[in-house]
Chain A
Amino acid sequence: ETGVTQSPTHLIKTRGQQVTLRCSSQSGHNTVSWYQQALGQGPQFIFQYYREEENGRGNFPPRFSGLQFPNYSSELNVNALELDDSALYLCASRPRGANVLTFGAGSRLTVL
């Protein structure tokens, strides 16, 4: 097991730009979720992918989109960045049917 790895660990963007965050899920975990954690808050669910299709979405606008690939990797794309998008973005994976998520260390995004 290699765990969940995310890249980049930190990045700075300006308002209006686009960003892509990447995640490599734990081997055998076919369900991946993305969460946004603002400072001082708990993680907020963005969306979930299973077998390369989105099968659940939280209260986030369409400019937040994702992809899941057959090799268990996934991406989170955010268009038209806003200042409030500054947060820690967490990727998590699990085998289908399991309740326990395994998290990566996150990507810290700062929007100026």
Chain B
Amino acid sequence: DQQVKQNSPSLSVQEGRISILNCDYTNSMFDYFLWYKKYPAEGPTFLISISSIKDKNEDGRFTVFLNKSAKHLSLHIVPSQPGDSAVYFCAATWGNYQLIWGAGTKLIIKP
């Protein structure tokens, strides 16, 4: 039972354009959502998070949107840069406990 789903295994975006990565979840108990970025041979690195009491959180080029009624969140990266090429994971948690992860989306930024 996949509680967190990232339905796009990969995404290719032109440098300078907007990258939009999507994530769906099924468990309405989740109260905190995180995005991590992972480069090959490195551990996941925290990118941005959002609490369930908010619908948007912004940090520089990165914005996360949360639609609780649709159980959907998205990560927007604008403008996209070559260094953004990585695998992006969506994760969710409740009660400050374990993280439940999606399978990841590989983002490729084309020059």
Contact = CB atoms under 8 A, between A and B. Distances in A.
A102 B101 CA distance: 15
A42 B98 contact: no
Contacts of A28: none
B4 interface: yes
Contact of B93 (A58, A99, A106): A99
B60 interface: no
Interface string A62-88: 000000000000000000000000000
B98 A102 contact: no
B101 A42 contact: yes
Chain B CB count within 10 A is highest, among A40, A42, A58, for A42
A42 B102 contact: yes
In which size bucket is the chain A interface? 20 to 34
In which size bucket is the chain B interface? 20 to 34
A11 interface: no
A43 B46 contact: no
Contacts of A112: none
Contacts of B89: 42-43
Nearest to B98: A45
A35 to B, nearest CB: 8
A33 interface: yes
A42 B104 contact: yes
A37 B18 CA distance: 29
Given A4-B43, A90-B43, A99 B49 contact: yes
5 contacts: A43-B99, A90-B44, A104-B43, A105-B43, A106-B43
Given A44-B101, A45-B98, A45-B99, 9 more contacts: A42-B6, A42-B102, A48-B97, A48-B98, A56-B97, A90-B43, A101-B46, A103-B36, A103-B43
